[in-house]
Structure 1
Amino acid sequence: MPVLRRNTLVSCLIALLCGGTLWLAYDWFQSRYVRAFEEHATLFTGDSLHLPAALAGPGAIRVVHFWDAACPCNVGNQQHLAELVAHYQPLGVKFYAMEKGRKHSRLPDNLAALQPLEALPGADGLPASPAVAIWDQRGQLAYFGPYSEGAVCNSANSFIEPVLQALTERRAVNATHTMAVGCYCLWEASAKP
């Protein structure tokens, strides 16, 4: 009986040690690789955004996708963005991507059509990402803000499709100040997550 009790005690200690080790590994991984985010209200203002000189002026509708490779919120909008590219790029809409910190991370293969932007005047002061800016055919900022409201993004709750539809029909859009509650990660370098 004492041998059985000792084996049980040793087994329990090993299980406790393994469980503690797994918890520490999970906590380390989460703090190191999973950036914390909150679903909160964010005000997006596009007053300071301007196209780079090479893209400014009249031309195609231009869409700029702002993203941060470390932000878990990107996953929710990447499939939707790929659907937007597939639908609107054949209509002449140009798609660009600007990464926070310009680290040259790789977008998923289904977003390979997005041309990278190295600089965009006013982008350093953005409040959060993922976000999108859309310039109309005259080169005027028509929309700046999130893709949608809520934790996930799809065509059912998208702010982008109605804007792109109106612009492709040559209707005016002026939505450069938006507020939404959703999954966003802070963009500004001085902001603390």
Structure 2
Amino acid sequence: FIFKQRNVLAQPSYTYLAWTTAILWLLLVSVLMWQVFASDYRAFLHEDAPDLQNMPRVATGELTLVHYLDEQCSCNRFAKPHVQDIEETYKEARHVYPNETMQVKGVLLEDWAISSPAVSIFAPDGVLIYHGPYTAGSVCGQGEDLVAAHLEKWRAGDRAQYLNLLGQGCFCPWTNTNKKTAELT
């Protein structure tokens, strides 16, 4: 038997090309997934947040939900369906959307804004029921519904105030982009 020697170095290495392509593809997909899902993952309370302990009451005479949804925040894509469900479930409540410097009964709602998406719930007498994110979880709209839970506690007679400021999730710091002023009475 005479064996022919093959020159391995002269043949193209498709294995190397396949591995290189697979690694580059995996890297690209990882970066895109991070951009879509984790780039805005942060703490709800950021260093520029206002002091909520000394805020004035928002007394409208009716249950009021203030929805903080900054249109420039990419996290709102997860929150909008949840907000629509809240509006349908709690039709008797007043729903306010402060797109910057709106006021309710003379109280500047922008002062309450910390991050987007978020919600403040005020009792008819103006006492804060809840302030914080809509849900507990890494993606807004996924996880425990904190708004419904606190509204049901309030209806059952629980008058405790809840400031949920320690959550982690998809949040954007509240910004001032439109500079609109409106008075809601």
Q: The TM-score by the shorter chain falls in which range?
A: 0.5 to 0.7
Equivalent residues of 2:140, 2:169 under 8 A apart: no
Unaligned runs of 5+ in 2: 1-35, 177-185
Q: Which is higher, the Rg of structure 1 or of structure 2?
A: 2
Equivalent residues of 2:117, 2:171 under 8 A apart: yes
Pick closer, same or farther for the CA change 1:175–1:182 going to 2, 3 Å. same
Aligned ranges 1:169-184 → 2 under 5 Å: 169-184=156-171
Matched, 1:69 2:75: no
Matched, 1:47 2:53: yes
Equivalent residues of 1:47, 1:176 under 8 A apart: no
Pick closer, same or farther for the CA change 1:188–1:51 going to 2, 3 Å. farther
Who is 2:12 aligned against?
Answer: none
Please give the per-residue CA displacement for 1:60-102, whole angstroms capped at 9, x wherever unaligned. 211000111111111111111111111111xx221111124x6
Equivalent residues of 2:137, 2:143 under 8 A apart: no
Equivalent residues of 1:46, 1:177 under 8 A apart: no
Equivalent residues of 1:132, 1:144 under 8 A apart: yes
Q: How far did 1:157 drift?
A: 1.8
Who is 1:98 aligned against?
Answer: 98
Q: How far did 1:170 drift?
A: 3.4
Who is 1:127 aligned against?
Answer: 114
Q: How far did 1:165 drift?
A: 1.1
- Please report the TM-score for the alignment, with normalisation by the length of structure 1: 0.59
Q: CA–CA distance in 1 between the matches of 2:64 and 2:136?
A: 22
Equivalent residues of 1:76, 1:151 under 8 A apart: no
Q: Which amino acid aligns with 1:146?
A: P
Who is 1:166 aligned against?
Answer: 153
- Please report the TM-score for the alignment, with normalisation by the length of structure 2: 0.61
Please give the per-residue CA displacement for 1:126-163, whole angstroms capped at 9, x wherever unaligned. 33111110111321011111112333233742211111
Q: Which amino acid aligns with 1:149?
A: A
Who is 2:89 aligned against?
Answer: 87
Q: CA–CA distance in 1 between the matches of 2:175 and 2:55?
A: 14
Q: CA–CA distance in 1 between the matches of 2:52 and 2:132?
A: 8
Who is 2:40 aligned against?
Answer: 38
Root mean square deviation of aligned Cα: 2.7
Q: How far did 1:122 drift?
A: 5.6
Q: How far did 1:47 drift?
A: 2.5
Identity %: 26
Q: CA–CA distance in 2 between the matches of 1:79 and 1:40?
A: 21
Q: CA–CA distance in 1 between the matches of 2:138 and 2:174?
A: 18
Pick closer, same or farther for the CA change 1:129–1:186 going to 2, 3 Å. same
Equivalent residues of 2:66, 2:98 under 8 A apart: yes
